[in-house]
Structures are given as C-alpha cells and as structure tokens.
Amino acid sequence: MLGELMQNNQRGDRIKDLASVSGVRPNQLTGYGLVVGLDGTGDQTSQTPFTIQSIRNMLSTYGVEVPRNVNPQLRNVAAVSLTADLPPFAKPGQQIDVTVSSIGNASSLRGGTLIMTPLLGADSQVYGMAQGNVVVSGFGVEGQDGSRVAVNVPSAGRIPNGATVEREVPNTFIEEEFITLNLNTSDFTTAHRLTQTINDNFGEHTAIPLDSTSVRVEAPADPSQRVAFISVLENLKVEPGEGPARVIVNSRTGTVVIGANVRVGAAAVSHGSLTVRIRERPFVVQPSPFAPGETIVLPRTDIEIEEPEDSRMFLFDPGVGLDQIVEAVNQVGAAPGDLVAILEALDRAGALQAQLVVI
C-alpha cells in the first residue's frame, strides 16, 4: 500500500515537512550544578558567593563540614546552568546532550568536569541526571596587562550524551481517538489540500480541517497500527498553498526578500543619489618675522556635491511582477539601501500590492 501511495504522490512536499503531530514534541529541561577541575579559569569566589554556597552544600552531602568563618578561594570551580531537550517518547536509560553555560565570572570551562546534576522539567520534577566532561570549542588567553584574546565562547560548552533520562514524560498519543496535524505555517489553502490528500488516500471523512492550522485525522486505536498509519500518512505529498504577498526588509543589514506574489500598480520611480565629499585641509598661519604671536593651525573644510548625470526614471505598468521589479531596479544600479527606500515609497503611494514588513 505504501508503494502505491508514494507513486501517486510524486509532487509537492511531504506532510512530515509541512506539519507536526500534536503532542509529539520535545520538552525543555534545566539544572544548576558545578564544574570542577578547571585550570585556574573558574569563578572568583569572592565575587560569586553562590559558588561558595554550592560548594558547601555539596561537601556537606559527603560529610565534610567547612567552618563558617572559612571562605575557600577556589579558582578551579565554576557554577553553571544546564539546559537540555528531552525528545518525545524518550525512555528511561536513554542519553541526551547537555549544554553547559557559566553563570558566574569563570573565564573558561575548558577541561572541566560536571558533577552529577539533576535536570528538572517545567513541573519541577527530575527527568534526567547529567554528568561528564565538558567539551568547549572556544578558548581565551589573557595577559598580565589586561589584554585578552578569545575565540568563540569559552565560557559555554556541551556534554554529548551527558545526561541519562530518568523519567518518561506522560503522553496521550495512544489514548486519543484522533490525531491532530498542526501546520508549521498557518494557511487555509494548505490545510484544505492536506485534508483532501488524506481523504483521497484513506477514504472520505478520515481527515477534517479544524482551522487554518489544524487538521484532525481519524487513526487506528491499536498502537502498532497507529504507528504504521502515521508512517504512511507523513510520507504523502501535498502541494502547499502560496504564501501571502510580502516584502521583508531587514533594516539592520539591508537584506530585502521579495515574495513571488508581489505586484506593483502603475507608478513612475525616479532613482538618483547625491555624492557628498567632505575633506578637511587645515592650514598653518604664522606671524610676520620678528612680530609677536605664535603659529596656529586653522581648520578648512572643502565640501563637494556631485549628482549623477545618468539618473533614470522607470515606469511600472499595472500588475508588474517580481522579475520586472528586480530587473528595473538593477538597471538603475540601486544599492540595497536604495531598494528599501524605493519599496517604502511605493508602499506609501499605494502602488505596492503586498505587505511591507520591516524587521
């Protein structure tokens, strides 16, 4: 059956690339711990009292009591924050990656070892235990005069397979009568085509669209059959609907992305730019021979303004598409900043038949 379905769905994108199954998602875990064994690059404990407190608590669990009037000045320990993603359906005993980040003033975690640390979920329950050697891709060196050179970020690292799952997250995937597919990008057309494709392959009323994002699909109750059903379902191909006409402008980098459905109404655009050159040419004024006074330097500024002689105007006919817009702008030699100004002017004039989004 799967082979026949795949032959009948050669165009479009796979459903697994367009949507996700509701409830099948990772869960974020966090933790607080200590990294030890650093080569003098740990926290300055005089400035990070929570590191001292953590060391006291850790040692007390092993029966070692540090006197209250003693403050250990350790440079090989760093307080860290741990983050990890618990994959869906993760079972106890499986291993996951952990990201370790310094929360004190440690300059580097290179060569350190994380002491066993519990990883908590949003419900404050322990879902994993982390421990292991920290892998740091960055490094930093510092001189006695305060000069410092750093590559990447040496105060953060990862522990591959550094945590062991201790508890499974409850999931209603098998208990629910239906499964719900949530589109990655909300679109009524895509939701309709997704429903139609599923019904064409599995029968009428198998899928029902709920809104522009969700499609409810009737699935087998038996776990093995449900898994096989979703395996076939997610490999079906759907032609997604075209997105809305948008022009995305990044005001910081000057990047402009023009959607395929962008149209321009009738408009005439003139593109020209002034070149302003400002040069400072100070000159020296000296007193006359044997006259009282001193030599002084006076400022002198030369300002030149040039306007290109080949400034052009181009005309947009109604319904002009993306290729004509790009060609016309390239003909006048517009820079990315000039293109942004042209698009904003067209939007203000009501000739840009698209949504202008500035980020």
**What span, in angstroms and rounded, lies between the C-alpha atoms of 134 and 181?**
38
Give, as one character, the DSSP assignment of residue 334. -
> Does the pLDDT value for residue 71 go beyond 60?
yes
Residue pLDDT, tens place only, 165-206: 999 888 877 778 888 999 998 889 999 999 999 999 988 888
Query: Which range has the worst mean pLDDT, 69-73, 105-109, 110-114?
Result: 69-73
Catalogue all structural domains in the chain, each as residue range(s) with its CATH number: 2-24+172-238 (3.30.1360), 27-165 (no CATH), 246-358 (no CATH)
pTM recorded for the entire structure: 0.66
The average pLDDT across 353-358 equals: 77
* The pLDDT of residue 279: 58
Average pLDDT, the chain: 79
Helices and strands per DSSP (H, E), number in the chain: 7, 25
Most confident region among 6-10, 92-96, 260-264 by mean pLDDT? 92-96
- pLDDT attached to residue 274: 44
Other CB atoms within a 10 A radius of the CB of residue 275 amount to 9
d(CA 342, CA 262): 14
In the numeric block, the tokens 């208990």 are attached to 175
Which comes out higher in pLDDT, residue 197 or 281?
197
CA torsion 110-113-115-120 (nearest 10°) is 50
